[in-house]
Structure 1
């Protein structure tokens, strides 16, 4: 899944619980983090890991696939951004615009 697809998924009204079930993520985790394949490009694939696996590291190597990932942000931040995108001020943002804003935040401000 790519960042644009993730944005669309949640803006279309899917729930976090449904997402966790689909991706076999532990809902009881302290936090689930959103990572992107390195080198960071807006169209790269995402991966989702419980913080208990990544230990909060900015970079994480998924040994099973031998792929290196960089942390973008956690799901709490992402879901807050999705909720804010639904308010009157931000409702006119397209999925593509919101994706670019999130990506730019992750690589420049995080």
Structure 2
């Protein structure tokens, strides 16, 4: 992913996701979904990226992982904002994205 080619990362992340599920490792699954969302965004699939980031956000929320939740909120909010900006030509058009970003900022401040 860091080399600019998301395809190998996507394949490895999907394999890791299956292994985390097989081992009932919810935290590993949530972090893998988070990184999968980043890789999908890098690959240009922002719709699927948001879907995976939202799944990660839900999992982090359920397990009360405040840092993971803040990371997932921040990245999901940013990708959602960028999607709306591409559709409308205006960064200010998504209240949902703005709320995610504000919640993430509050989470990061709270945990230091």
Instruction: Give the structure-2-normalised TM-score.
Output: 0.28
- Larger strand share, 1 or 2: 1
- Larger helix share, 1 or 2: 2
Higher relative contact order (CA 8 A, sep 6+): 1
Instruction: Give the structure-1-normalised TM-score.
Output: 0.28
Question: Which has the larger Rg?
Answer: 2
